């Protein structure tokens, strides 16, 4: 019995639509429940007119192609998609504990255990992505969601819709997470994702991004110089890890496997892995 939610054709009438979870340029994300199985999911709605105007249809097809092959506990699951005359609908896993960036704003910064656990989770997710030759390229707190047990869910492989509240990102997105080679427009590889893991680790522990500056230009300058300044209270183990990741030369950055095995991550992380289940459960999903 193939799992129910992966059945071939879906349409809007198969769902009861709940509250909006986020809104953005191309559409919005709604909480939704599948009528027969009562399966809860996030339904991302993209307007074809907006996609056509921005010439993004082909990118959406590529994103859907990539997403449909990714299955990992720390990657937000993409189940299926369908469309009507005016809209494209993506059936996505619902992350019950919301957006990491909101949690970071609420807590100001995270302790070592929480940060090291996120480092282990996101590194494992990226090892999996890179093994499929998928580079996320846009890792930042805004694109990270939290699962039932607070585990990280890497989301939004290209389609960021924004939650109703004002986002911290400036007009064209935050520059804090750009790797040096991205700023110079040089060709970039998987190591741009590794750079972002270093920036994320710093921001989770400190509460602000490492190269944060009053102007975008100054931020770019600090990124290219890799001007890393740690508050005195940042633990040595974390400073060691972040300094080994944020290397200007992409190939010299600490590989993801070694991030997971770093002494500070090994000793501080409290990662919980969900029980490995076949793709079918109680409600046939």
Ligand X SMILES: CC(=O)NC[C@@H]1CCN(c2c(Cl)cnc3[nH]c(-c4cn(C)nc4C)nc23)C1
**Residue 21 lies near ligand X (rule: CB under 6 A):** yes
Query: How crowded is the C-beta side of 277, counted as CA atoms within 13 Å?
Result: 9
Catalytic residue among 124, 138, 156, 193: 138
Question: At closest approach, how far in Å is the CB of 2 from ligand X?
Answer: 23
Q: Which of 163, 199, 206, 259 binds ligand X (CB under 6 A)?
A: 163
Question: Is there a contact between 269 and 261 (Cβ–Cβ < 8 Å)?
Answer: no
State yes or no: residue 154 binds ligand X (CB under 6 A). Answer: no
Q: CB under 6 A: which stretch of 156-164, 195-203, 207-215, 247-255 binds ligand X? A: 156-164
What H or E segment, with its residue span, contains residue 152? strand 152-154
Which H/E stretch holds residue 92?
strand 87-92
* Least distance CB 254 / ligand X (angstroms): 26
* Residue 94 lies near ligand X (rule: CB under 6 A): yes
Closest residue by beta carbon to ligand X: 22
- Those residues with Cβ within 8 angstroms of residue 118's Cβ, 6 or more apart along the chain or in another chain: 100, 110, 144, 152, 200, 201, 204
Which among 94-102, 114-122, 127-135, 170-178 is the span making contact with ligand X, rule CB under 6 A?
94-102
Q: Catalytic: 189?
A: no
**72: burial class by Cβ within 10 Å (0-12, 13-18, 19+)?**
middle
Contacts of 71 (CB under 8 A, 6+ apart): 77
Q: Which of 32, 67, 134, 155 binds ligand X (CB under 6 A)?
A: 155
Q: Which of 46, 66, 75, 95 binds ligand X (CB under 6 A)?
A: 95
| 157 lines the binding site for ligand X (CB under 6 A) | no
Does 22 engage in binding with ligand X (CB under 6 A)?
yes
Site residue total, ligand X (CB under 6 A): 17
Angle between helix 112-131 and 191-206 (nearest 10)? 170
Q: Could you tell me which of 112, 198, 106 has the C-alpha nearest to residue 146?
A: 106
Site for ligand X in 190-219 (CB under 6 A): none
Give the strands of the sheet with 15-23, arranged side by side: 15-23, 27-34, 40-47, 87-92, 78-83
Listed ranges 112-120, 152-160, 239-247, 271-279: which one lies at the site for ligand X (CB under 6 A) = 152-160
Are 144 and 153 in contact by the 8 Å Cβ rule? The answer is: yes
161 forms part of the interface with ligand X (CB under 6 A): yes
Closest distance to ligand X from the beta carbon of 95 (Å): 4
Binding mask 213-252 for ligand X (x = CB under 6 A): ----------------------------------------
Shortest Å, Cβ 156 to ligand X: 3
63 touches ligand X by CB under 6 A: no
Q: Which residue has the tokens 């940042």?
A: 234
Neighbour-count burial for 245-262, b at 16+ CB within 10 Å, e otherwise = bbbeebeebbbbeebbeb
Per the CB < 8 A criterion, the answer to whether 102 and 145 are in contact is no
What residues act catalytically?
138
Question: Which positions lie near ligand X, rule CB under 6 A?
Answer: 21-22, 29, 42, 44, 92, 94-95, 98-99, 143, 145, 155-156, 160-161, 163
């Amino acid at each position: 019995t193939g799992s129910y939610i992966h059945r071939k054709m879906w349409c809007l009438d198969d769902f009861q639509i709940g509250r909006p979870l986020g809104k953005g340029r191309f559409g919005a994300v709604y909480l939704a429940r599948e009528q027969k199985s009562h399966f809860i999911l996030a339904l991302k709605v993209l307007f074809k007119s907006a996609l056509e105007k921005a010439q993004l249809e082909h990118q959406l097809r590529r994103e859907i192609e990539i997403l449909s092959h990714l299955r990992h506990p720390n990657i937000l699951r993409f189940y299926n998609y369908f469309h009507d005359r005016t809209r494209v609908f993506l059936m996505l896993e619902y992350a019950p504990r919301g957006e990491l960036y909101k949690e970071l704003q609420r807590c100001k910064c995270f302790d070592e255990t929480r940060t090291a656990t996120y480092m282990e989770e996101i590194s494992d997710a990226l090892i999996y992505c890179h093994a499929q030759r998928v580079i996320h390229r846009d890792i930042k707190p805004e694109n990270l969601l939290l699962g039932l047990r607070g585990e990280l869910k890497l989301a939004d492989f290209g389609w960021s819709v924004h939650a109703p509240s004002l986002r911290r990102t400036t007009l064209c997105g935050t520059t804090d997470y750009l790797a040096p080679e991205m700023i110079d427009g040089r060709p970039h590889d998987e190591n741009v994702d590794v750079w972002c893991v270093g920036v994320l680790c710093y921001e989770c522990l400190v509460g602000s991004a490492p190269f944060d500056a009053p102007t975008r230009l100054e931020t770019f300058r600090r990124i290219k110089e890799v001007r890393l300044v740690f508050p005195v209270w940042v633990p040595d183990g974390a400073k060691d890890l972040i300094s080994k990741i944020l290397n200007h030369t992409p190939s010299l950055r600490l590989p993801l496997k070694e991030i997971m095995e770093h002494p500070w991550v090994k000793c501080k992380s409290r990662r919980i892995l969900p029980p490995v289940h076949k793709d079918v459960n109680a409600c046939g999903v």
